[in-house]
Structure 1
Amino acid sequence: MPRFPVLAAFFLSMIFGWSAADAQQKPARPEPSQCQAIAQSLPKASFASFSSPGPILANDLVDGDVKITFLGHATFFIETPGGVSIATDYSGAYPPPYTADVVTMNKAHPSHYTLTPDPAIKYVLHGWSDVPGEPAKIHLTVGDTLIRNVVTDIRSWGGGIEANGNSIFIFEVAGLCIGHLGHLHFELTDQQYAEIGRLDVVMVPVDGGLTMGADSMSRVVKRLRSSLILPMHRWGPPIDQFLALFGPDFDVGYAPTASVTVSLKTLPRKPLIYVLKGL
């Protein structure tokens, strides 16, 4: 057995009064965000997807596939190579095929959350704080997935602004950066783009007004420059009105099913707006 860890623990105990048992029981530091790493040094940059994103989390299954299924409205079901299952903007109205390990929620409308989730769900993540105006702070590793959030303001029912009322949830798994914009009401600031970092896959509301106007939302999508764009939250205008805002720099595809399977190796080289069946 190598002597260095034992010696290190001994010297720490001599200097700081720690025991070897104390050192072993110290909580592990949270996994760093690899999707945000570039953004931290370039806060005003526009971020693009790259086929080789650099360092990968130690517990990522880099060669694995992530399956994303559109269940309805703003709810997607994400299944990771490590067996973690996640339902986004979960209200219970669009149940996944089996109980998710994690559900994320936003509160702009009741169709994006529930206060009575299935008690079998292990992690229920609110995109808002119980303290008015305070940001929700989520940085959680579940199996092979790092889950974090970036807060944005929303319009309140009284016509004002509710600070930090929405969360953009980001799932870092298998080397991929997957983002769900939630109920986004305002174009993102430079600081928010920096906090988000790189997004390879992004789920975008395309209702044309309940969140943001189509022009504003298309500017967000263009600046994020994700490899795979999955429309969601379509109310009112046909999807073609949103797609018409993108030129030859974006491809458009219509999926034969409600699911798509993606990995670092299969990300499209050119940004693809992919309309899953059921939208």
Structure 2
Amino acid sequence: MLRALSALLSLLMMGAAAFAQQAPRSSECLAMAGGPRAVPVSLRRAAADTGEVTITYAGHSTYFIDTPGGVRIATDYSGAYQVGRLPDVVTMNRAHSTHYTLAPDPRIPHVLHGWGEDGKKAEIFERIGDVLIRNVTTDIRRYYGDTSGLDMIKDGNSIFIFEVAGLCIGHLGHLHVKLDETHFAAIGRLDIVMVPIDGTYTMSLDGISEITRRLRASVVLPMHRFATPLDDFMRRIGQEFEIDRRSERTLKISRESLPATRTVIILDGV
């Protein structure tokens, strides 16, 4: 009996060690940042075996991301926008109450704040199920309408990056400032990016369009839109982007199905 238990324990330990070796210990999106945008077909097929990611627009800046492993994420979560079951992970930013809540449903196991406490910035690098979640902080204005840049909250906003199924998915949050080389280096490669296009509360359309072009993601998902004409945003980001208007709120996508031409996908409700 002792021999059998010992052998079983040894097998379990070996399995755990093998799993630890297979699980990426660092950001794949940062590792790929300096590589070519074209991915060899063999790698695309291998990545496609990990399954599709489902992205659903819930409202305002909240997208629900469902991973192949069954993890459900909600971005800039305030609780006001709900689609189906509760998320397993919520990310938040505190520029306005529509982007966070200090009283989330207690059944949500992972609540990730995009701001720090006691003068420290938020530093997130967590693997939850089949997704790696990390953040890059940016400063935010303390008051709406203040364009002087003199009264800022340092590291008050987080750009969240979700690495899953071979995809690098970024959510810019409530972005107030231009990104510098340090930000772009920390973000790394993005395949899909969610960008605020209100043109007022966050950044000007010219500013967010410049950032969108620089990030060079295959798919752009607009959000945080009020009265902004979509044509204004499209005109500013340039003719190198296709536009794909959808009649549904949900997008299923994998590494293999990324469009060959950079595309703005406008889901229903945006």
CA distance in 1, matches of 2:209, 2:181: 16
Please say if 1:262 is aligned against 2:250: no
Please say if 1:175 is aligned against 2:169: no
Please say if 1:97 is aligned against 2:97: no
Report deviation, 1:247: 2.6
Gaps of 5+ in 1: 1-19
What does residue range 1-279 of structure 1 map to in structure 2 within 5 Å?
31-39=25-33, 49-52=37-40, 62-132=49-119, 134-157=120-143, 159=146, 160-279=151-270
Identity of aligned residues (%): 49
Report deviation, 1:52: 4.7
Query: Cα gap change, 1:52/1:128 in structure 2, threshold over 3 Å: closer, same or farther?
Result: farther
Deviations 1:170-226 (A, max 9, x none): 000000000000001111110110000000000000001210000010000000010
Query: Cα gap change, 1:245/1:111 in structure 2, threshold over 3 Å: closer, same or farther?
Result: same
Query: Cα gap change, 1:164/1:125 in structure 2, threshold over 3 Å: closer, same or farther?
Result: same
CA distance in 2, matches of 1:49, 1:165: 31
Of 47-56 and 116-125, the range deviating more from structure 2: 47-56
Report deviation, 1:62: 4.2
CA distance in 2, matches of 1:50, 1:183: 30
Of 234-243 and 223-232, the range deviating more from structure 2: 234-243
CA distance in 2, matches of 1:274, 1:145: 23
CA distance in 2, matches of 1:219, 1:189: 12
Report deviation, 1:72: 0.1
Report deviation, 1:110: 0.3
Query: Cα gap change, 1:31/1:94 in structure 2, threshold over 3 Å: closer, same or farther?
Result: same
Query: Cα gap change, 1:49/1:204 in structure 2, threshold over 3 Å: closer, same or farther?
Result: farther
- Matched-pair contact (CA < 8 Å) for 1:49–1:200: no
The one-letter amino acid of 1:140's match is E
Instruction: Give the structure-2-normalised TM-score.
Output: 0.85
1:17 counterpart residue number:
none
4+ runs of 1 displaced by more than 6 Å? 27-30, 53-56
CA distance in 2, matches of 1:257, 1:181: 23
Instruction: Give the structure-1-normalised TM-score.
Output: 0.82
Gaps of 5+ in 2: 1-12
Report deviation, 1:154: 0.5
Query: Cα gap change, 1:267/1:156 in structure 2, threshold over 3 Å: closer, same or farther?
Result: same
Aligned residues: 246
Query: Cα gap change, 1:130/1:203 in structure 2, threshold over 3 Å: closer, same or farther?
Result: same
- Matched-pair contact (CA < 8 Å) for 1:127–1:151: yes
CA distance in 1, matches of 2:246, 2:160: 24
